[in-house]
């Protein structure tokens, strides 16, 4: 184990304050509140939780191959009596939903926190599902921190609730809380004992006959949690004007405080189960009651169901992130605030739009260039390679969720009657996450599709995390290095080819051959990510290329490989066409542009 020193640089941490992001604060909470085992699969906005928790040698940390496995490892640890935490982005909880739901009737003897990092506004996600509903679905308490201090504190409070009530606790974060930095008071680590597994088949074995006994226990547990919700200081009233009362949660609390500092505010730190009695008393104490909540009317619907009149979603829609301006606008529409002359709150300078694009030297570029040339029907998946869908490569026809590409390709092949020309592209991390069963099924179905595993030896999209194919882990080097070709072989694939996507012609020829073939085939592209190559995990720097301006004919073919290092220069041809320019600082020397140039005008620098 070669783990680094703790993230804040303060081991005892006594009475010291520092600035932490919400994610760093959760990691600090893992340290201070005696977590033994922390697991995750990376996903924005949750990734930094495990990256920071791994800096504390007291905590065993792992990147599991997917969220379900991460959940199961953490669940096993809490069965053994350890304090545990599992972190994931919101859609990750869909992957882990099976054990998440089943655990409800078992409990969490050692203490168990599930962090769901939701993404209102879809900064880096395919949807903005509101995972508070998962807490209600499973009957778990839902804690919602509004800043980094609470993010840390709620890990501790959540663990106590988890142990006292024998229940998993959902710590629901959002992008703003995960990534914003606020002051946090540090404390010492509270050591806890791993109590050991207490055999109890009725509890730990989810047979129907056991479940029938456990279900009433879980219902009773929820009743007790509702009583706790009435008394916990996490749910507090900040008394202000008796005319307006606002119930709010999470980061929205900060916006409400900023916009309506004089109102009476009911801050929900524990948003499930709701403290209905306390809310009723609050409602009776104000003339008009609002619920200001981000995304779905989770709180509003429950309050209305309890017969308490309130207003909410008609002023603050369930689309996107809230912010102080939107909170203010809703209150103006409600007739509570007057429309002020527009204050300048946004940055005055215009931000130049920067569409996402493959990095210089990205190995996916050659693959997607070839797929476009071959006019393949491409079912793609989630990872950096999804960017191949965007102009100018525009290769990629479907993308749904992690692991979907192979199943969708099989479905298309079955509907069409053959798999010729259908290519499923999937990254190495995604293949190990949830692509393997899809491939097994494709073999079993004799689907005749082509599967391309874009193996760049890292989970690149989320910032370069390890997985069971990289040979390293969160605990240091010496991890397992799964051989993707052997896995495919074991899953029944016979035609398996490996190509270097920097070699364009070879990539094109191999793809063409396999797309025309009736049999199922797997092509593995074997060029590592240019940002995190396995040798040193430092950006690849080969000799950069340059444009020979004498030869350049201004055809712009090189611009169509979509490399940020290539732009139009000020030089023009006789016909007035702009010639190309390569930025030598950005160019990694992958040579893909040189290979597409029809007049060999792109050459290595001296």
Ligand X SMILES: Cc1ncc(C[n+]2csc(CCOP(=O)(O)OP(=O)(O)O)c2C)c(N)n1
| Cα dist from 255 to 166, 261, 267, 299, 326, whole Å | 34, 10, 12, 17, 9
Cα distances from 180 to residues 22, 132, 150, 175, 561, in angstroms, run: 6, 21, 12, 8, 36
Residue 459 vs 595, nearer CB to ligand X: 459
∠ CA 197-201-206, rounded to 5°: 110
Contact at 8 Å (CB) between 385 and 427? Answer: yes
Minimal distance, residue 538 CB to ligand X, in Å = 17
137: tokens are: 């679905």
Q: How far apart are CB 568 and ligand X at their closest, in Å?
A: 28
> What is the Cα–Cα distance from 446 to 519, expressed in whole angstroms?
7
Give 32 or 455: the residue with its C-beta nearer to ligand X.
455
In the bound complex, what is the minimum distance in angstroms from residue 300's beta carbon to ligand X? Answer: 28
Mind giving me the DSSP string for 560-601? Answer: GG--TTEEEEEEE-TTSPEEEEE-TTT-----HHHHH-TT--
Task: Report the run of H or E that residue 232 belongs to, with start and end.
Answer: none
Least distance from ligand X to the Cβ atom of residue 102, Å: 19
Q: Which is nearer to ligand X, 450 or 462 (CB)?
A: 462
State which residue, 138 or 452, has the beta carbon closest to ligand X: 452
Closest contact distance (angstroms) between CB of 126 and ligand X is: 7
Q: Which residues bind ligand X (CB under 6 A)?
A: 41-43, 89, 91-92, 95, 382-385, 402, 427-430, 454, 456, 458-462
**Which residue number is nearest to ligand X in terms of Cβ?**
427
Nearest residue (CB) to ligand X, 250 versus 383: 383
Structure tokens at 48: 């930094």
d(CA 334, CA 328): 10
CB nearer to ligand X: pick between 77 and 91: 91
Task: State in angstroms the smallest separation of the CB of 439 from ligand X.
Answer: 14
- For the CB of residue 88, give the shortest distance to ligand X in the complex, in Å: 7
Whichever of 332 and 485 has its CB closer to ligand X, that residue is 485
- Our CB check for ligand X shows the closer of 6 and 430 to be 430
Radius of gyration for the alpha carbons in the chain, expressed in angstroms and rounded: 27
Least Å distance between CB 461 and ligand X? 3
In this complex, which beta carbon is closest to ligand X, that of residue 266 or of residue 368? 368
Give the Cα separation of 116 and 88 in Å (integer): 6
**CB neighbour class for 464 (10 Å; exposed up to 12, middle 13-18, buried from 19):** middle
Least Cβ distance, residue 15 to ligand X (angstroms): 37
- Scan for tokens 């009957």, then name that residue: 139
Q: What is the DSSP letter of 107?
A: -
Distance CA 407, CA 410 (A): 5
For ligand X, give the closer residue by CB, 222 or 426: 426
Q: Which of 547, 576, 588 shows the shortest CA–CA distance to 359?
A: 588
Work out how close the CB of 42 gets to ligand X at its nearest, in angstroms, rounded to a whole number: 5
Peptide bond before 352: cis, by omega within 30 degrees of 0?
A: no
Q: Determine which helix (DSSP H) or strand (DSSP E) holds 475, and give its type and residue range.
A: none
Measured distance CA(505)–CA(29) in Å, rounded: 52
């Amino acid at each position: 184990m070669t783990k680094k020193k703790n993230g804040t640089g303060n081991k005892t941490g006594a009475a010291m304050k520092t600035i932490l992001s919400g994610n760093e604060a959760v990691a600090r909470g893992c340290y201070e509140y005696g977590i033994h085992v922390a697991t995750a699969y990376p996903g924005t906005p949750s990734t930094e939780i495990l990256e920071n928790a791994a800096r504390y040698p007291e905590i065993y940390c792992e990147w599991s191959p997917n969220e379900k496995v991460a959940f199961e490892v953490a669940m096993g640890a809490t069965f053994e009596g350890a304090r545990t935490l599992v972190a994931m982005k919101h859609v990750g909880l869909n992957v882990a939903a099976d054990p998440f739901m089943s655990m409800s009737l078992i409990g969490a003897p050692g203490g168990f926190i599930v962090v769901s990092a939701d993404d209102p506004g879809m900064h880096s996600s395919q949807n903005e599902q509101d995972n508070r509903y998962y807490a209600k679905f499973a009957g778990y308490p839902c804690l919602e921190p509004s800043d980094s201090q609470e993010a840390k504190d709620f890990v501790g409070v959540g663990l106590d609730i988890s142990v006292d009530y024998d229940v998993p606790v959902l710590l629901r974060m959002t992008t703003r809380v995960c990534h914003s930095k606020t002051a946090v008071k540090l404390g010492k680590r509270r050591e806890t004992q791993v109590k050991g597994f207490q055999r109890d088949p009725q509890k730990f074995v989810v047979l129907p006959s056991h479940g029938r006994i456990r279900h009433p226990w879980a219902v009773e547990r929820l009743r007790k949690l509702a009583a706790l919700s009435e008394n916990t200081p996490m749910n507090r009233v900040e008394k202000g004007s008796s005319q307006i009362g606002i119930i709010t949660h999470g980061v929205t609390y900060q916006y409400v405080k900023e916009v309506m500092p004089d109102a009476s505010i009911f801050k929900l730190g524990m948003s499930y189960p709701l403290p209905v009695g306390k809310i009723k008393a609050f409602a009776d104490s104000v003339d008009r009651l609002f619920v200001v909540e981000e995304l779905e009317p989770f709180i509003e619907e429950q309050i209305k169901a309890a017969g308490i009149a309130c207003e909410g979603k008609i002023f603050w829609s369930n689309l996107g992130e809230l912010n102080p301006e939107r909170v203010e606008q809703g209150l103006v529409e409600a007739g509570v605030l007057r429309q002020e002359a527009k204050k300048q709150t946004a940055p005055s300078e215009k931000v130049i739009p920067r569409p996402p694009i493959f990095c210089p030297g990205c190995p996916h570029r050659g693959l997607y260039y070839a797929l476009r040339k071959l006019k393949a029907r491409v079912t793609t998946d989630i990872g950096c390679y999804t960017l191949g869908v965007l102009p100018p490569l525009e290769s990629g026809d479907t993308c749904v969720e992690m692991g979907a590409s192979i199943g969708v390709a099989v479905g298309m092949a079955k509907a069409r009657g053959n798999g010729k020309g259908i290519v499923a592209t999937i990254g190495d991390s995604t293949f190990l996450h949830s692509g393997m069963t899809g491939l097994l099924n494709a073999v079993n179905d004799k689907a005749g599709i082509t599967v391309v595993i874009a193996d760049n030896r890292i989970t690149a999209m989320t910032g370069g995390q390890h997985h069971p194919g990289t040979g390293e882990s969160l605990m240091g080097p010496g991890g397992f290095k799964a051989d993707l070709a052997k896995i495919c072989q074991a899953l029944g694939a016979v035609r398996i080819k490996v190509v270097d996507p920097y070699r364009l012609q070879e990539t094109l020829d191999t793809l063409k051959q396999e797309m025309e073939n009736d049999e199922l085939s797997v092509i593995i592209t074997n060029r590592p990510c240019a940002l995190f190559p396995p040798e040193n995990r430092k950006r690849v720097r080969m000799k950069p290329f340059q444009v020979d301006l004498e030869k350049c004919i201004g055809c712009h073919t090189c611009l169509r490989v979509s490399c940020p290092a290539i732009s139009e220069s000020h030089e023009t041809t006789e016909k007035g066409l702009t010639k190309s320019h390569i930025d030598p600082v950005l160019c990694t020397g992958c040579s893909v542009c040189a290979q597409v140039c029809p007049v060999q005008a792109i050459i290595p620098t001296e």
